[in-house]
Structure 1
Amino acid sequence: MNPPASAPAFLVSAGWGGAEIRPLAGDASFRRYFRVVEHDRTAILMDSPPDKGEDPRPFISIARWLTQRGFAAPEILHEDLDQGLVLLQDFGDARMRETVDAAPESELRLYEEAVDLLVRLRDHPAAADIGPYSPSQYHREAKLLPDWYCGALGLHVDAQGYNDAWNAALAPVLTGHTPVTVLRDYHAENIMLIEGSESLGLLDFQDALAGHPAYDLVSLLQDARRDVPPELETAMLDRYKRRTGVGDEFDIAYHVLGAQRNAKIIGIFTRLWRRDGKPRYAGLCPRVWGYLERDLKHPALKPVADWFGANVPQDMRGDPMTIAGE
């Protein structure tokens, strides 16, 4: 993974002209990341290519909003918005995911800290310059499953029935709450343990919207990339409810938004395999199906559960690449 041709000049303008540029793992988008090393200091170079539809402005805006409120988002060291280049504070390599996997005894403590961060985030009105998590957005995301997953497997499904089922399930979730800043990808691979800091570091929040506080909690506890034990999920949901004083309506929102998010992820992961040539994402779908089926057991999701029962046979729920025989 080579850095963009403009990177050396950008680093000179940032005061890092003699730095070495080392590739880091990218993500599911066109964004790429590099570690910049100069003597005893490091930073992260984020490449958000405008010609690929990437725009670093939302990331920069939310990063500053978070830090102004005491959360640990990367400091913006330098930026060139026209080229999509941003130099960020380096949080190191200690992600919550690998830390928990290597030291299972840390799992409970770190998940408690991650839940408590969301409790604190709830205390702040949503950022002023982000859009709402609108009904049309929820529907558009949920529709990714029939469009991509069912499409990849040749399943002919009831599209109008799917839309109607989600209308019924989402109705009680869309009102009656104060919107918060929803980071939208809050999970163990986007949470950093920063050396010398008691705060958890936050990453990958450029798609933030103003929405229901249950969304980020379910993102954390129904993690598409690692198995979260059901008993831990229950304990952390109970912890959040105790600390915020929310009632049974929060349980409804949690499972409805969990089902919506998991349907979206199954669709996105299938698209990443089918369209973008990234087959490893197809292999993550069975875990997400497990979460989705757990959510569909909630009575508030009966219309959606009935749709799945009528349209997606049990033996067609899993790794779409394997099921398709590819």
Structure 2
Amino acid sequence: MNFIKRKLTDETATTALGRELSLFCRKGMTICLHGDLGAGKTTLARALIQALSDTDETPDVPSPTFSLMQPYDELRIDVHHFDLYRIDQIDEIYELGLFDDMENRLTLIEWPDRLGSEIPPDRLDVYLEIEDSTRSAKISGLGETAPIVNRMATVAKFLADSEWSNAQRCFLQGDASARRYERLTQVDGGKAILMDMPKASDGPTIRDGKTYSQIAHIAEGIVPVAAINAKLLDMGFSAPRSLQQDLENGLMIIEDFGDNVFGTMFGNKQDIEQPMETATELLVEMTSMKWPDVVDGHKIARFDFPAFAMEAELLLDWFWPLQKTGQADEQVRQSFIDIWKQLFALIKTDRPVWVLRDFHSPNLIWMPERQGIKRVGLIDTQDCLLGHPAYDLVSMLQDARIDLPRHFETKFHEYYLSLRQRRDENFDAPAFETAYAIFGAQRATKILGIFARLYMRDGKPGYLQHIPRVYAALEKNLRHPALGNLADWYKTNLPAPERQSGDLP
């Protein structure tokens, strides 16, 4: 059994441990708090729950000693906090609903010994002990939760050996991936970001002896982050500088670009016209540069047809069964792939650029204190490929997460074309428009599959609300003359009424 041990010199140390545990909490986890009366179980639970708050207000966390269960549904994870001290029979625990819907919340249990053999097999155990007036905590993990203990220890050692050992650690909302982020704040106000991205375990082979990540060229560890960001910086772009790193263990402390994320600014009704214009200029600037296919030993793959098609097939793998009964048959799948093969053949570029692939509102940060295109901070760059510059433009202008003003796409699309034509009199605008529509349709198709997967596999229904927006972008791209066959495929197999609703089926 893996475990870590911490000395708890005072209540502040117990609170700090609760906050640290909160950084690793996820939906479906169970944490059992063991210890005698007065050992600090409720203090630890209170600190953990309060650290899960998404607001500046500290939630009130009463002890559930008399209520037996206290729910919290306004945190970044729903929490049910149980105190089983006064429980005598297991039937009483069932009546409390402790075992109901556990996969959709964090379950905190004080006095878990009352569960007997019914204690969840996948859990984090925290033993709070007092010996000769010395308090300590022993943390161990069982089942699927066991790796979290090792990760906590690895991260703690990395930070202890860094210049950020005394920094306050706060959860930072990341993306839909398994990566984890923290914001580190020094006593003097200095800030940085901890990026926790251990190497992903190989998934199942699905085609030609390769995994999905290998075919789609998805980064499986933190090494590409360090290599790509360093090269972007070298070429004059704003990517986060590495302040300290342990690539073998998947950890980096990187520059903090702040909170002016394009999507957040838009949600706060801030004007993002200048940021969008500058991001458009950045994409044009990228087309004037020669981009390497190897950086620091990391190979930048081509955006080839296997990756292009694999992403599109996510629609059949996940969105199709969400809307229909069963899986798409082989004839439907093959016709779908054949159409994409014809479309991919139409995409031509003599000067491939680094395609960041997620060049959109959650990954673009506005830094007005900088100059020129350096005002746009680039994050989530690790999956970049060598490919056509139209991909990142359509990613930004047909954003899947926010409803940009309708004129924005036309305005910045035309601005991009004018800048390209000004730089190169031989720029082929019609060919670019075709590539833009093809990549727009492919990206929308892929995202429909991803959002369905996040709901069906990962239990994240919130992404379904974006489906109507993604389909609106798809429909617009399907109107391009080159995409007639794909438009017909959709009309036959996924007609509009089946794909315009974000409601659950």
Higher Cα Rg, which structure: 2
Cα shift at 1:60: 0.9
Is the Cα contact below 8 Å between 1:183 and 1:216 reproduced in 2? Answer: yes
- Map 1:56-75 onto structure 2 (within 5 A): 56-75=222-241
Corresponding residue of 2:336:
162
**Residues 1:42 and 2:191 are matched in the alignment:** yes
Identity %: 38
**Residues 1:203 and 2:379 are matched in the alignment:** yes
Is the Cα contact below 8 Å between 1:56 and 1:81 reproduced in 2? Answer: yes
Q: Which structure: greater strand fraction?
A: 2
The code of the aligned residue for 2:302 comes to P
Comparing 227-236 and 153-162, the one that deviates more:
153-162
Runs of 5+ consecutive residues of structure 2 not aligned to the other structure:
1-21, 25-150, 203-219, 295-299, 422-426
Distance 1:27 1:52, change over 3 A: farther
User: Equivalents in 2 of 1:281, 1:148: separation in Å?
Assistant: 13
Is the Cα contact below 8 Å between 2:349 and 2:388 reproduced in 1? Answer: no
Identify the match of residue 132 of structure 1 among 272, 278, 302.
302
Post-superposition CA distance 1:296-316 (Å, at most 9, x none): 011011010010011012211
Cα shift at 1:103: 4.1
Post-superposition CA distance 1:225-248 (Å, at most 9, x none): 011233210111111111112311
User: Equivalents in 2 of 1:172, 1:123: separation in Å?
Assistant: 22
User: Equivalents in 2 of 1:51, 1:188: separation in Å?
Assistant: 26
Post-superposition CA distance 1:269-321 (Å, at most 9, x none): 1101111111111221111011001100110110100100110122110346x
Cα shift at 1:12: 2.2
**Residues 1:14 and 2:180 are matched in the alignment:** no
Identify the match of residue 263 of structure 1 among 445, 459, 480.
445
Corresponding residue of 2:38:
none
Identify the match of residue 495 of structure 2 among 300, 307, 313.
313
Cα shift at 1:92: 1.0
Corresponding residue of 1:119:
284
Cα shift at 1:177: 3.1
Post-superposition CA distance 1:132-161 (Å, at most 9, x none): 000111111111111110022225461111
Corresponding residue of 2:68:
none
Distance 1:52 1:90, change over 3 A: farther
1:87 aligns to what SS in structure 2? strand
User: Equivalents in 1 of 2:354, 2:481: separation in Å?
Assistant: 28
TM-score by length of 2: 0.61
2:240 aligns to what SS in structure 1? coil
Is the Cα contact below 8 Å between 2:180 and 2:195 reproduced in 1? Answer: yes
User: Equivalents in 2 of 1:275, 1:318: separation in Å?
Assistant: 21
Q: How large is the Cα RMSD of the aligned pairs? A: 1.6
Is the Cα contact below 8 Å between 1:30 and 1:49 reproduced in 2? Answer: no
Q: Which structure: greater helix fraction?
A: 1
Runs of 5+ consecutive residues of structure 1 not aligned to the other structure:
none
Is the Cα contact below 8 Å between 1:316 and 1:323 reproduced in 2? Answer: no
